[in-house]
């Protein structure tokens, strides 16, 4: 049986989620903007999904804006905030060099529009330095955007400290929490977050739907026009089945988050132990402690990533060399390069990521396959 260890790229839709979505493809097909019975039924269901998403991060339903996914939510957060704050003569943005391309590329676009962007470096474990962040701030700074937990190496940033700093000086703070949501407990008030990005398909929900949280004290400019949906911040007829599936996935994730967190920690630790026991030469990339437990980025020194991935796939093991959004590219990981790791480490990195369905038996089998591949390649 094939073994799927690429849950950071996407997860399978949970059976309960699929069941919750099905009625909204046929008998409950109304447009939520319609005032008749068909529309009201769908609107009520969408309101419940919005409530579930808001409750999970200690927000209000009116602060949740549904999007087509994490990428659109990131773009709406960055572009919508930058254009709004430019009205107040603020045109400077601070992000880290290891952000998802949805944030990086949005900032590249903003630079072409005349904005100034500071790309903060990180240390060899993928952590941002708070003092460097402080030094980068100026009176023109409009927004700080720092990913909650990195999608390639799993390093968790000091989000609360960043939130406190941003609040103290009156700068808006956005975090892409796509990988952390469903694993970490997230409270937007406690962490002093102004904007937060979520995605459905990382937690057992359908693809093509996500959400952006926006605090009451902030107002973003829309990037699309043509309707009153999502309080005019994201117009267009909503992806109703997707949103309902997202809401159900959030509900399930909330109930089992603590158990899931412990299971992921145990799975990750067991995987590392299995590799050690087989005398395999490898290094773990990312922070040793402040790390998302479902992500394990490992470099098998001397074996390039592409060769390893092909051999793993031929042996029924699915994983990746980094972000699913760039895995079709032969470019080096911008995350590992920003961490200033040696070339042999960057070129041999593989990302293993675990999910609800990952078992200890699968981890043991995967380690055995890796041992066999390395033995064959070393010949």
Catalytic residue set: 325
Cα 348 to chain centroid distance, Å, stands at 23
Q: Are strands 210-214 and 283-285 parallel, antiparallel or unpaired?
A: unpaired
Neighbours of 231 (CB within 10 A): 12
Cα 143 to chain centroid distance, Å, stands at 19
Are the beta carbons of 368 and 310 closer than 8 angstroms?
Answer: no
Are the beta carbons of 348 and 304 closer than 8 angstroms?
Answer: yes
**H or E element in which residue 284 lies:** strand 283-285
DSSP secondary structure string for all residues of 287-349: -SSSB-TTEEEEE-TTS-HHHHHHHHHHTTEE-BSS-TTTTTS-SPPHHHHHTT--HHHHTTE
For residue 107, what is the DSSP state?
H
């Amino acid at each position: 049986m094939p073994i799927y260890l690429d849950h950071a790229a996407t997860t399978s839709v949970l059976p309960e989620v699929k069941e919750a979505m099905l009625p909204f493809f046929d008998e409950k097909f109304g447009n939520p903007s319609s005032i008749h019975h068909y529309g009201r039924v769908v609107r009520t269901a969408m309101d419940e999904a919005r409530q579930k998403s808001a409750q999970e991060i200690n927000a209000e339903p009116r602060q949740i804006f549904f999007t087509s996914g994490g990428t659109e939510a990131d773009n709406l957060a960055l572009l919508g905030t930058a254009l709004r704050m430019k009205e107040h003569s603020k045109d400077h943005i601070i992000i880290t060099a290891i952000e998802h391309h949805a944030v990086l590329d949005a900032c590249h676009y903003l630079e072409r529009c005349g904005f100034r962007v500071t790309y903060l470096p990180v240390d060899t474990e993928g952590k941002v330095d708070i003092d460097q962040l402080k030094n980068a701030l100026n009176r023109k700074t409009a927004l700080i955007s720092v990913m909650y937990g990195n999608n390639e190496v799993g390093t968790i940033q000091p989000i609360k400290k960043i939130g406190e700093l941003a609040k103290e000086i009156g700068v808006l703070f956005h975090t892409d929490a796509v990988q952390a949501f469903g694993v970490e407990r997230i409270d937007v008030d406690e962490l002093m977050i102004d904007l937060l990005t979520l995605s459905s398909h990382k937690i057992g929900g359908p693809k093509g739907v996500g959400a952006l949280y926006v605090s009451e004290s902030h107002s973003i400019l829309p990037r699309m026009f043509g309707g009153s949906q999502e309080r005019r911040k994201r117009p267009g007829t909503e992806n109703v089945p997707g949103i309902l599936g997202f809401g159900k996935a959030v509900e399930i994730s909330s109930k089992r988050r603590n158990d899931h967190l412990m299971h992921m920690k145990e799975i990750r630790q067991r995987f590392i132990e299995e590799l050690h026991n087989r005398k395999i030469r490898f290094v773990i990339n990312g922070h040793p402690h402040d790390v998302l437990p479902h992500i394990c980025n490992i470099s098998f020194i001397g074996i390039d990533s592409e060769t390893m991935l092909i051999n793993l796939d031929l042996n029924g093991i699915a994983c990746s060399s980094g972000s699913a959004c760039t895995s079709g590219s032969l470019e080096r990981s911008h995350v590992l390069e920003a961490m200033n790791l040696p070339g042999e480490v960057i070129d041999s990195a593989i990302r293993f990521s675990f999910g609800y369905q990952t078992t200890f038996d699968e981890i043991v089998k995967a380690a055995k396959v890796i041992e066999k591949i390395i033995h064959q390649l070393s010949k």
